[in-house]
Amino acid sequence: MAKLQPVRGTRDILPDDMRRHRTVVETCRRLAERYGYHEMSTPVFEFTDVFRRTLGETSDVVTKEMYTFPVREEGDSVTLRPEATAGVARAFITHGMQQSLPAKFFYTGPMFRHERPQKGRLRQFHQVDVELIGVAQPVGDVEMIALGRHFLEEIGLDDRQITLEINTLGDLESRKTYRQALVDYFSRYENDLSEDSRERLHRNPLRILDSKDEDDRKLVAEAPSFDEYLNRESKDFFEAVLDGLKRLGIGYTLNDRLVRGLDYYTHTCFEFTTDALGAQGTVLAGGRYDGLIETMGGPSTPGIGWAAGVERLAMLLSQAEAAPRPVAVVPAGDAQEGLALELTQRLRRDGLAVELGYTGNLGKRLKRADKVGARVAVILGEDEAAKGSATVRDLDTGEQELVALDRLGERLAADR
């Protein structure tokens, strides 16, 4: 029988990695709360139309990467969520949240995409995500980017390791004008485009700009720039965003090839990138999606958000959060095991992390205490039990003292 393994593109998160994972998530959760964002969650799967409407029928995610399954209701199917924003927007509409704007959400959980696994990218992966719904002004974009930068700083990344790349997609009028300019330009070279880019030419030409095909990239280098087609309102909006970033001391690099392919994206899009994982890659990305909620059948409502991959960020942490060093309760023999069990539970209720020495003679139980990294061993022998006391041994220094059982919690807490 073949040895059972995790499904390709998935992984077990063992304790050391889990501590890194938790550091990323808890840091983001704590900062999001400081910025006024409230945690929410949506189902891990949605009706497939939730993602088809938001990610686009022709996007790679919809056509190649989604895990979609039929359900008993005739004609319906469900999809494991490939990203968080669509579910948040659906929940916003479902619960009529337009009556209490702005709505500020923090979100974390597993996402699923059937893509080629690579370093830091999995088919089941985890994200942290923040969404600001109901703020149309540039200050919302600045706050969103500032939160992302603050988050990356808090997990130990600085300007030497990450770069903020930013661009504007303009308003709907500018986007339509630019879209037509791209169609006119790329149509002259249609036979030279990759198969994917030929398919996108008339449906989603902006996505050609982020093609990875080498021949496409040569054509993209000479393509019209979005800046040439921005109207005054769009330029003013972007200038206000950049001015806000300067006021906050947040450095950035303009990247006029940074795009989002779908029409509901407007104005600001941005990414924090790093080369610390090898080839330059994105660790946090976001943008303004003023047309998204209306596209999904809700009221016209502006929004902006970002998401970051937990696994990729966890790989960048300088070290894992240290596991708390427990107290080890060590009965010297079978006769003290009942007392040891009672004492262990009492100390845990006092707020201490406690490991119980389960089996073996005193020497073996003390070796296990060392193995789990205990800071002290509470040794219960026959003489100690008779006196209502325990021997407390510092496992780093070897020093020990006799402590009354009714004072033990207080004594151990003092050394934490």
Compute the distance between CA of residue 296 and CA of residue 293 in angstroms, rounded to an integer: 5
Phi-psi region of 78 (alpha: psi -120 to 50; beta: other; left: phi over 0): beta
pLDDT digits (tens, 9 = 90+) for 60-72: 666 678 889 888 7
Do 365 and 290 lie in one domain? The reply is no
Residues 368 and 305 in one domain: no
When the pLDDT of each residue in the chain is averaged and rounded to a whole number, the result is 89
- The answer to whether residue 220 is domain-embedded is no
pLDDT digit string, tens, across residues 338-381: 999 999 999 999 999 999 988 888 889 889 988 988 999 999 98
Name residues whose C-beta falls within 8 Å of residue 218's C-beta, 6 or more positions apart in sequence: none
CATH code of the domain covering residue 260: 3.30.930.10
pLDDT, position 198: 87
Please list, in sequence order, all residues whose beta carbon lies within 8 angstroms of the beta carbon of residue 128, skipping any fewer than 6 positions away. Answer: 24, 25, 28, 29, 106, 107, 108, 151, 307, 308, 310
> Mind giving me the DSSP string for 314-355?
HHH-SSPPPPPPPEEEEESSGGGHHHHHHHHHHHHHTT--EE
Residues 150 and 122 in one domain: yes
Give φ, ψ of 380 to 5 degrees: -110, 100
Determine the pLDDT at residue 252: 96
Residues 282, 364: one domain? Answer: no
Q: What is the DSSP string of 144-171?
A: HHHHHHHHHHHTT--TTT-EEEEEE---
377 within some domain = yes
Mean pLDDT of 148-177: 91
Counting residues of the chain whose pLDDT is more than 70, the rounded percentage is: 93
Q: How far is CA 245 from CA 144, 221, 231, 251, in A?
A: 11, 28, 22, 7
- Asked if the structure places residue 206 within a domain, the reply is no
Total number of domains constituting the chain:
2
The C-alpha atoms of residue 57 and residue 294 are separated, in whole angstroms, by 17
Among the ranges given (68-77, 78-87, 151-160), the one the predictor scored with the smallest mean pLDDT? 68-77
Query: Is residue 164 located within the same domain as residue 47?
Result: yes
Question: Residue 73: what pLDDT?
Answer: 66
- Compute the radius of gyration of the chain from its Cα atoms: 28
Going by pLDDT thresholds of 50, 70 and 90, the confidence category of residue 220 is confident
**Which pLDDT belongs to residue 321?**
64
Residues 331 and 259 in one domain: no
Q: Which of 268, 18, 16 is nearest to 148 (CA)?
A: 268
Residues 91 and 72 both lie in one domain: yes
Q: Is the pLDDT of residue 186 over 60?
A: yes
For position 342, which CATH number holds? 3.40.50.800
Final residue belonging to a domain, choices 281, 316, 351: 316
Residue range of the domain that includes 268: 15-171+231-316
Q: What is the pLDDT of residues 222-256, one digit of tens each?
A: 888 888 899 999 999 999 999 999 999 999 999 98
Separation between Cα atoms, residue 289 and residue 269, nearest integer Å: 9
Do 298 and 355 belong to one domain?
no
Give yes or no: residues 343 and 300 share one domain: no
Q: Is 361 within a domain?
A: yes
The answer to whether residues 116 and 34 belong to one domain is yes
In a domain, 214, yes or no: no
What digits encode the pLDDT tens for the residues 264-310?
A: 889 999 999 988 766 668 899 999 999 899 989 999 999 999 999 99
**Domain's final residue, options 316, 345, 361:** 316
Q: How far apart are CA 287 and CA 144, in angstroms?
A: 9
Helix 15-34 crosses helix 138-154 at what angle (to 10 degrees)?
A: 150
CA angle (279 as vertex; 274, 283 as ends), nearest 5: 35
Of the candidates 274, 293, 316, which is a domain's last residue?
Answer: 316
123 and 235 part of one domain: yes
Distance CA 77, CA 59 (A): 18
In sequence order, which residues have a C-beta less than 8 Å from that of residue 397 and are 6 or more positions away? Answer: none
Q: What is the pLDDT of residue 104?
A: 97
Residue closest to 352 by CA, chosen among 414, 399, 406:
414
Give the lowest-confidence range in 19-33, 42-56, 164-178, 272-286: 272-286
Q: Do residues 160 and 282 both lie within one domain?
A: yes
232 CB burial (10 A radius; 0-12, 13-18, 19+): exposed
Residue 295 belongs to some domain of the structure: yes
Residue 176, domain member (yes or no):
no
The pLDDT value given to residue 82: 92
The answer as to whether 3 is a domain residue is no
Q: How far apart are CA 133 and CA 136, in angstroms?
A: 9
Residues in the chain, total: 416
Contact 400, 391 (CB under 8 A): yes
Mean pLDDT of 313-318: 84
